[in-house]
Structure formats: structure tokens, C-alpha cells
Amino acid sequence: MAEAQTGRRRAKKPRLAVWKFTSCDGCQLTLLDLEDELLAIAEALEIAYFPEATSRPLRGRYDLSLVEGSITTPEERERILEVRRRSRHLVAIGACATAGGIQALRNFADVAEYARIVYARPDYIRTLASSTPISDHVPVDFELRGCPIAKHQLLETVAAFLHGRRPHIPTHSVCAECKLAGNACVLVGAGTPCLGPATRAGCGALCPSFGRGCYGCFGPMENPNPPSLSDRLAALGMEKETLRRFWRSFNAGAPDFRRESARHGP
Amino acid sequence: MARKTIKVGYLSRVEGEARLELSIRDGTVRAARLAIFESPRFFEALLRGRHFDEAVDINARICGICPVAYQMSTVHAVEDAFGIRIAGPLRALRRLIYCGEWIESHALHICMLHAPDFLGYESAIAMARDHPQAVTRGLALKKAGNAILAKLGGREIHPVNIRVGGFYRVPRKRELAELVDPLERARDLALETVRWVAGFDFPRSERPYTFVALRHGREYPFNEGRVASSDGLDIPVRAYDAHFEEYQVPHSTALRSRIRGAGHYLTGPLARYHLNADLLRPVAREAAKEAGLGPSCRNPYTSILVRAVEVLHACDEALAILADYEEPEQPAVAVEPKAGVGHGATEAPRGLLYHRYVLDGEGIIRDARIVPPTAQNQAVIEEDLVEHVQRSLDLPEEALRHRCEQTVRNHDPCISCATHFLKLEVERE
Ligand code: SF4
């Protein structure tokens, strides 16, 4: 009937799938937050699998898979292999999928202890000792950073894959965005601790625009120099323990930030 | 013995992952289990040793759909521990950003996730072919809510501007004034949405819920109030632990809640409405009446209507806040950390969200407890399922499965919060 017909008519459009692993759903919500573009996107490609938004079941292969979330359970470790098999292009979206997310704080702790703190019956809980990015498990075609990802970067990435080109996503630091926004430097001016000099652009220098320091939710820029930033922060009076926590949040599992946080404590 | 199994791979159009299992024997539904298999993220554990300022941003990441709720319950709990009260324009701005989240989250649920159930579509995108106006209206409403979040919070998801004591930066009067036009339009769209939803064909139901919500007394609740129930409970937030308890069942990674010595309860729009309907803005009260809602509503299928009324309320409330706004002198009050215990509860779009922190003198969190609305509602969702499946057993399997999913979606479960969702297994013997 109509369903089968639509199926045929739409078969030529590229098929998009959105997958969730361990996450807060915020990055996939970014797609639904494209209120002005959503229906046009749905015209240009077939939203073939997106359980948060549609009850259409899983079937076949997908031209572009957006993967949100990190791998934290044995089941997820298997499921990501299946997602990779079904996907021509696979893009990891967000800090969870590209660095393990905030839940990667367990990587620095004892997960059994974590489970005991939260659950009266930790034995009901099945989980892995660490939270790891998608690229630790399968080849990833592109990584989009941010906690959450930025709308315009998502649009650019989807458009790029539709046209068979690489997305134009900057890899420089938030500092460049601050200059563009005409912000006075919060670090130099107000002495406010800021991770901007080591953090990748994408947010539009959001936190400094609100008078606070960047907390690194887009993860490391290309070739950052975290030790020199730490020296700067220490000179402002930041203690070792605070420094360790500062580097260890939403992108705690990203190698550049992980190494730096480890220099300041276990 | 005839035995049959129906499977639904994954509960769609909810935020998170879960599975539903029904066991039916001799034509009677014996049990319904909502199995939440959202991977645990251990927030209460990873918060230990973090500074309260960090907790505000960390907790937002519990849920991408209602980050403001998590940030608000956090700041209120910490402020409770430090003995800080927020008044005047800062308090009004907090209510304003909460309005934005209710509008955004409710509009998403009403138009994108739940309405397709009533009109027979797999998604809002499919629904848009036949009901383009309804879908564009939903998106426009959502956008208006998000505009508040972006203006006041910096971005829609995981806003960066909320802190203990107030905000990092407060908007100028003229910046906020830019929200007036879009919100006036949104208020019209919200009223149209109430009327549209009121015309849906609602399955009949009358459930004996115990409702739990904040009650403030002068305002429809967002940030403040006492915890009240339809059975007469009326306690300060700090007495929450004495009256409510959490327990765990093997089939789920979410903890559940009950009233000590009593039983399960429902939180969320129906509960807020029952306990506070007289405090809705007049325009929302009128619309509710015109839509046929009485002073209380126990039909879970009409929760979508109450949500629509709340969107209208939030648009009007936001406009009232904008009209009265005076720039505060400071973006935040002074914060002096103090060792102690703090409790906070606010009304997330999905219901009561309780936090408790033990803090040391440096403001470092030593212990954290977070009780999200979906965890509180989970048991009631199962009870709803038993009741409604029993009445729908004659339906063909596809229709039965659909009815189950719709029944779950009545409560807009946010499984990411509760710890994600749905695979339906029906075992018939
Ligand atoms: S990266 Fe951040 S916003 Fe995206 S899913 Fe993870 S926690 Fe949510």
C-alpha cells in the first residue's frame, strides 16, 4: 500500500540513521532543534532510523550514521560493530562519542565502587570499567566535537557527506572565536580561569561571552599546549587539585586533556 | 497451552532506551515490566569530590532535553545548604529560563513524539505530509522556548549561564525585549495547540493516582514550593527523604520511588495540574476549561492536553516576567560555602526533580542524591499498562503494541534521566 510505495519513491534519497549509546540525548536533540531546517532535511534525505523521533523499525543499510554516546556496556560493544556494518559513513557526534563524555570520569575511579554508591544492588548492574569513544571500537569517518555539538557544525557535516566532500570544521582554539566576537580576554583581563586557549572552537566563544571561563566542552584543539596553560592558571593561584578537576570534565578521556589532568594528580 | 510473544525492538519516540514485557495468562494481564536498559552513568558517584560550581554544569548532562531542570535543582539545593535565598529579578530570570525549557520540552513531546500516536503516524515527519500546519506550529513553539534558553542561557542544550547565586551575566532590558514578539506569537500558537489537541480521540480512562507535585501557593510551581500530594501530604522539601524512598528491581537500571508506608505515585503535568490548577495564568485556565478539563484530570491519555495548557501558561508567564523585568545590580549574590546538607526540588517538565547534597566547608560535594521524575513515575506507568492492556487484549497485536507504546508515552518518560527504553515482549500463556 502507500507505505510500500513511499518506500520505493524514497529509495533514491540517501538514508540517514541516528544511533544512541551512553549519553544524555542532547546531541541527537540538536537535529530536532534545527526547527527551521528539519523539514527540509527530511526532504533531502530519508530519516530512516531515529528512534527518539520515529517508530520506524531498523532495516537495511544507511548512507550516513550519526552516532551519539560512548561505549560503556558489553552490549554496546557488540552493537557498535553492527552499526558500522550497516553504515557507509559513520560520524561520531559529541564529547561522549568522541572522548567518552562526562561518564568517562569512571576511567579514573573504580567502577564497582561507583555502582555501590548509586545502587543498593550493584549486582543488577552490567557495565564496563571504562567509558570509551566510538573510535576505540570501529573506524570512524569523522568526529564532530562538543557537549553538545553545535547546530551549524551538524548542518555543515550532514551537507558535506551528502555532497561527498569533507566537512569544513575549524580545529583552532576558542581564542580565535573570542577575538572574532570582540570579547575582552577573561583570562588576561579578569584573571578568570579559562580553557579556551587549549579548547577547540565551535561554540562561538560562548562562556567568555557570558563573562565566565571556557570549561572545555569542545575538547582539545589541534596541537594544544596544555602544560603552558596550566602554568598560567597556577600563576593565577589555581591549586593542583583544582587544576586536575579543571582538565577533567566532559572531555576527560580526550588524550591531550587526560595527560594534562594526570600531571596534577591521580 | 497457547503461548505467544510479541516483540517491539525498542521503545521509540521517548528519550532513552527501554523494553516492555507483559505477561498474560488465562486472558489476564499478570504483570507489566518496564525494563530500562539505559546504561548507567553514575552521576551521584562522579559528583563526589567536585566543587558545587562544577556540579551545575555536570548535572545538565544528565539530560539533554531538560538540562535547566537539573541545573535548577542543583543550585537550589546548594543554596539551601549555604543559607542563600534568591529574590527579585534574579528569581524572575530563573523562572523565565524554566518557562523556556517547559515550552521547548513540552512542544517537542506534544507535536513531535506524542501527537503521531493519536493521528496514526510513525513520526512527526511522516505526519507533516498530511498535517503540515500542526508540525510547523509545533516547531515554531519549540523554537520560541529555545529562544529563551539561548538568550538567557547562551545555548538551547546545556546552557552555560546558570550558577549558584544567580547567573554569570544578566541580560540588559533591551536584550530581553527581543523575546517579546516571538513569545506573543508563541502564545497564539499555544492556544491553537490546546484547541487542536482537544479535538483528539482520547481513549477513556480514570486512574486512581496519588499525585505529587510542588505547591507554591501563589504561583504555578517551577522553582519553589512545598512537596504536596493529593492525599494531603504537605511537607518542606528538606523532609523529602523522611517521606519518600527509593528501591531497586532486577529488571531495570533506574531506581524507583514510593511514599513510605503508602505506595507509588505520579508526578508531572497531571499532578501539577491537580494540585495547582487554580494558579494557572487566566488565559491558560480559560483554555483548559474550554478544552473540557475539570479541576482534576485522571485520564493519562489527556496528559497531552494538560501539557498544551502548560505551554500556554509558560508563554504567558514568560511575557509577564519580561514586562516586569528590571536589571538586577549584580548578576549573582555573594556565595560563601558552608559545610552542611542542602535539599532542592523543582518542577522539571516531566515532574518533580529532587536533589540533596552533602558539602564540606570548601564547597566540595561529599555525597549526592538525585531523584528524577521518570524514576518516580516508573511504577505507575507499569500499573497503567496492566490496566490498559487488560482492556485492549482483543485488539490485533500490532494495535495492542501501539496502545502500549502510547500508554508509556503518556508520561513522556525520559529514560536518560531515569538512568532509555523499548522492547515489548508479550508472553501469552
Ligand atoms: S556529548 Fe554532551 S550533549 Fe552530547 S550526548 Fe554526550 S553529554 Fe549529551
Q: In the structure, what pLDDT confidence band is assigned to residue B40 with cuts at 50, 70 and 90?
A: confident
A17-26, B175-184, B294-303, B404-413 — which is least confidently predicted? B404-413
Give B265-279 pLDDT, tens digit per residue.
Answer: 999 999 999 999 999
Shared domain check, A225 and A195: yes
Least confident of A206-215, B29-38, B223-232: B29-38
Instruction: Return the pLDDT at A130.
Output: 94
What pLDDT band is residue B171 in, cutting at 50, 70 and 90?
A: very high
Identify the domain boundary among A162, A192, A219.
Answer: A162
pLDDT at A56: 63
Q: What distance in Å separates the CA atoms of residue B139 and residue B107, rounded to the nearest whole number?
A: 7
Tell whether A199 is covered by a domain: yes
Please give the residue that has the higher pLDDT: either B252 or B226: B226
Distance CA A112, CA B392 (A): 43
Q: Which domains does chain B have, with CATH numbers?
A: 43-418 (1.10.645.10)
Mean pLDDT of A162-167: 91
Q: How far apart are CA B21 and CA A23, in angstroms?
A: 24
In Å, what is the CA distance from B363 to each residue of A64, A70, A187, A234, B71? 45, 30, 23, 20, 16
Residue B350 has a pLDDT of 94
pLDDT band at A8 (very low <50, low <70, confident <90, very high): very low
Q: What pLDDT does residue B67 have? A: 96
Give the pLDDT of residue A6. 44
* Cα dihedral A216→A217→A219→A224 (10° resolution): -20
**Mean pLDDT along residues B76-100:** 97
Does A74 lie in the same domain as A45? yes
pTM here is 0.93
Q: Is residue A167, in this structure, part of any structural domain at all?
A: no
Q: Which is higher by pLDDT, A244 or B20?
A: A244
Note down the domain range covering A258.
174-262
**B28 in A contact zone (CB under 8 Å):** no
Are residues A137 and A252 located together in one domain of the fold? no
Cα of B141 vs centre of ligand 1, distance in Å, is 24
**With 90 as the cut, is the pLDDT of residue B356 above it?**
yes
In chain A, the number of structural domains is: 2
- Dihedral (CA of A204, A206, A209, A211) sign: negative
Q: Is A67 on the interface with B (CB under 8 A)?
A: no
Check if A253 has its Cβ closer than 6 Å to any atom of ligand 1: no
- The predicted-structure confidence for B310-332, as pLDDT tens digits, reads as follows 999 999 999 999 999 999 999 99
Average pLDDT, chain A: 90
For B186-203, how does the pLDDT look when each residue is reduced to its tens digit (9 = 90+)?
Answer: 999 999 999 999 999 999
- The 10s digit of each residue's pLDDT in A85-115 is 999 999 999 999 999 999 999 999 998 888 8
Report which of residues A254 and A113 the model is more confident about: A254
Q: Assess B160–A contact: CB distance below 8 Å, yes or no.
A: yes
User: Which CATH number belongs to the domain containing residue A117 in this structure?
Assistant: 3.40.50.700
- In this structure, are A183 and A85 located in the same domain? no
Write the pLDDT tens digit of every residue in A46-56.
Answer: 888 777 666 66
What 3-state class would DSSP assign to B341? strand
Strand (E) or helix (H) holding B181: helix B180-198
Q: Which of B51, B139, B157 lies at the smallest CB-CB distance from A245?
A: B51
Does residue B226 register a pLDDT over 80? Answer: yes
In a domain, A83, yes or no: yes
The answer on A254 and A197 residing in a single domain is yes
Say what the pLDDT of residue B333 is.
97
Q: Tell me what percent of the residues of chain A surpass a pLDDT of 90.
A: 74
Identify which of A38, A115, A206 has the shortest CB distance to residue B160: A206
Burial class of residue A47 (count of CB atoms within 10 Å of its CB; 0-12, 13-18, 19+): buried
Strands B256-259 and B340-348: unpaired
Q: Which of A112 and B178 is assigned the larger pLDDT?
A: B178
Domain end, chosen from A162, A192, A218, is at: A162
DSSP assignment of B22-89 equals EEEETTEEEEEEEEE-PPP--HHHHTTT-BHHHHHHHHHTT-SSSHHHHHHHHHHHHHHHHT----HH
Do residues A228 and A252 both lie within one domain? yes
| Average pLDDT score over residue span B144-172 | 97
> Does residue A128 lie in a domain region?
yes
Average pLDDT of the residues of chain B: 89
Count Cβ–Cβ pairs < 8 Å, chain A vs chain B. 181
> What would the mean pLDDT of A190-215 be, rounded to a whole number?
97
* A46 and A142 inside one domain: yes
Q: Tell whether A27 and A127 lie within a shared domain.
A: yes
CA–CA dist A118, B77 (Å, integer): 19
Answer yes or no: is A196 within a domain.
yes
Q: For residue A139, report the phi and psi dihedrals to the nearest 5 degrees.
A: -65, 135
Strands (E), B153-312: 162-163, 166-167, 212-215, 226-229, 234-235, 244-247, 256-259
Residue A168 lies in a domain: no
Q: Say if residue B55's pLDDT is above 80.
A: yes
Q: Tally Cβ neighbours within 10 Å of residue A165.
A: 9
Please tell me the predicted confidence (pLDDT) of residue B422.
34
Judge whether A169 lies within some domain. Answer: no
Kindly state whether residues A240 and A199 are assigned to the same domain: yes
* ipTM rounded to 2 decimals: 0.94
Residue A104 lies in a domain: yes
Q: Give which of A73, A82, A116, A118 to mutate to test B binding, by max B Cβ within 10 Å.
A: A118
Residue where a domain stops, chosen among A105, A140, A162: A162
> Can you give the pLDDT at residue A54?
65
CB atoms within 10 A of CB B278: 8
State whether residue B412 sits within 8 Å of chain A by CB.
Answer: no
Cβ distance B416 to A117 less than 8 Å, yes or no, reads no
Same domain for A211 and A130: no
Regarding whether A66 and A104 lie in a shared domain, the answer is yes
Residue B418 scores a pLDDT above 80: no
pLDDT for the residue numbered B37: 66
Residues A157, A181, single domain; the answer is no
DSSP 3-state of A157: helix
How large a percentage of chain B has pLDDT more than 70? 90
A41 — pLDDT class (breaks 50, 70, 90):
confident
Choose among A55, A57, A53: nearest CA to A41.
A53
- CA–CA distances in Å: residue B155 to residues A30, B56, B114, B150, B178: 11, 15, 25, 4, 16
